[in-house]
Amino acid sequence: EVQLMESGGGLVQPGGSLRLSCAASGFTFSSYWMHWVRQAPGKGLVWVSRINSAGGGTGYADSVKGRFTISRDNAKNTLYLQVNSLRAEDTAVYYCAREHSSGHDVFDYWGQGTLVTVSS
Amino acid sequence: DIVMTQSPDSLAVSLGERATINCKSSQSVLYSSDNKNYLAWYQQKPGQPPKLLIYWASIRESGVPDRFSGSGSGTDFTLTISSLQAEDVAVYYCQQYYTTPCSFGQGTKLEIK
């Protein structure tokens, strides 16, 4: 059974940093592109970042470029998102998601999410 | 960036009746080289992550009940639930993946009448 489990969220002050993790199991993690998608409280879904299967290629939404860094450790079956210079508008549930085998930015499995709250 | 607009924002349908959700993209998501529409639909129940229902505009994901169907091409798409069940109460999102960044509609909240 495919499982994705995020951790690392919490309350942080504006300008602060967190490292989000996503532990994957039940599939060959190293074969899949992975993504982060976020959802502000009561709002819709917004794509944040992607990383290719080997970890050598990444992409970011303009709103987080230069502040967030996606990475992965295929030996540990874990995806990461380093979030720096946090702003109030970064407050959201952050989901990790697996890219569908058909390719492109379709997400067939999602974690339960980890909440990041940016507030003083 | 492509803007996705769903209608209506909310919808109440009786059990067993048909529910229809519309999605419009600000530019075509039909890729001419493969004749595929880069459009997906997701279902999100309260307190849960989204679940993939449909991709390539009309291909049902494995395990999704056949009462869910997707149609449309170019800029106009529809998600249809042929006979609404109680467990279908959720927010539904369309998503384009024709360009980066991919983008989602604002969501349509489906309730029981």
Is residue A103's pLDDT more than 90? no
Segment A12-33, tens digit of pLDDT: 999 999 999 999 999 999 999 9
- Among chain A residues, the shortest Cα distance to B63 is held by A108
CA angle in degrees (0–180, nearest 5) for A89-A92-A96: 130
On whether any CB of chain A is under 8 Å from the CB of B41, the answer is no
On whether any CB of chain A is under 8 Å from the CB of B49, the answer is yes
* Mean local confidence (pLDDT), A64-84: 98
- Among chain A residues, the shortest Cα distance to B40 is held by A106
Hey, are the CB atoms on A62 and B101 less than 8 Å from each other?
yes
pLDDT at residue A15 in the model: 98
On whether any CB of chain B is under 8 Å from the CB of A73, the answer is no
pLDDT at residue B75 in the model: 98
- Confidence class for position A102, pLDDT limits 50, 70, 90: confident
Tokens of residue A76, six digits: 């540990």
Strands A10-12 and A114-118: parallel
Q: What is the percent of chain A where pLDDT is above 70?
A: 100
Give the strands of the sheet with A78-83, arranged side by side. A3-7, A18-25, A78-83, A68-73
Hey, are the CB atoms on B100 and A100 less than 8 Å from each other?
no
* Mean local confidence (pLDDT), A58-77: 98
Q: What's the Rg (C-alpha) of chain A? A: 13
**Nearest 10 degrees: CA dihedral of B55, B14, A43, B5?**
60
- Among chain B residues, the shortest Cα distance to A63 is held by B101
Give, for all 113 residues of chain B, the pLDDT tens digit: 999 999 999 999 999 999 999 999 999 999 999 999 999 999 999 999 999 999 999 999 999 999 999 999 999 999 999 999 999 999 999 999 999 999 999 999 999 99
On whether any CB of chain A is under 8 Å from the CB of B60, the answer is no
Hey, are the CB atoms on A110 and B101 less than 8 Å from each other?
no
* Among the partner residues A59, A102, A110, nearest to B50 by beta-carbon distance: A110
- Among chain B residues, the shortest Cα distance to A103 is held by B97
- Confidence class for position A104, pLDDT limits 50, 70, 90: confident
Average pLDDT, chain A: 97
Strands A18-25 and A3-7: antiparallel
CA angle in degrees (0–180, nearest 5) for A19-A43-A85: 30
Quick one: which of A2, A36, A43, A40 has its CA closest to A19?
A: A36
DSSP structural state of residue B4: E
Residue A6 C-beta-side C-alpha neighbours within 13 Å: 29
Residues whose CB is less than 8 angstroms from the CB of residue A48 and which lie 6 or more positions away in sequence, other chains included: A35, A36, A37, A38, A60, A61, A64, A68, A81, A94
Quick one: which of B100, B51, B97 has its CA closest to B77?
A: B97
pLDDT at residue A53 in the model: 96
On whether any CB of chain B is under 8 Å from the CB of A107, the answer is yes
